[in-house]
Amino acid sequence: MNFPDAVKSVYSQYVTFSGRSLRSEYWYFVLFYFIVGIVLSALGFAIGLPGILENLFYLASFLPFLGVAIRRLHDVDRSGWWVLIPLTIIGIIPYLYWVIKEGDSGENRFGPAPTPSA
């Protein structure tokens, strides 16, 4: 899955918390999320609205980000509730491991393996 397809896929599944997501979909969306946030921060600072534009973007993109994170965890056969583990600080380590590792190759309890065209 390439960058534009990943962003389109995440926004087209705005609040879909079921199913599975590819690693590339998750990581391309993370990249998009932070690049747009930085650009909007600079733009907001330039026009005299520091913090406003990027916070609106983060607010509007929170549910898609949460959805793709949960679907990514489903791909490695973890419940979506594990998305909360980074809040414990030490939980950042297993969370990063799960979102970096390759997903299950076959079907798991969350559905069939995602395909690059999905």
- The rounded mean pLDDT for the chain is 95
3-state secondary structure 84-108: HHHHHCCCHHHHHHHHHCCCCCCCE
pLDDT score of 115: 87
State pLDDT tens for residues 77-98: 999 999 999 999 999 999 999 9
Q: Report the percentage of the chain scoring pLDDT > 90.
A: 95
Euclidean distance between CA atoms 5 and 24, whole angstroms: 10
**pLDDT: which is higher, 22 or 117:** 22
Is there a contact between 75 and 104 (Cβ–Cβ < 8 Å)? yes
For range 21-46, the mean pLDDT? 97
* Structure token pair of residue 54: 């990027």
Reported confidence tier of residue 118, pLDDT bands at 50, 70, 90: very low
Euclidean distance between CA atoms 26 and 45, whole angstroms: 29
If you ran DSSP here, which 8-state letter would residue 21 be given? Answer: -
State pLDDT tens for residues 55-74: 999 999 999 999 999 999 99
The residues spanned by each domain of the chain are 3-100
pLDDT score of 110: 97
Euclidean distance between CA atoms 70 and 44, whole angstroms: 30
pLDDT score of 117: 63
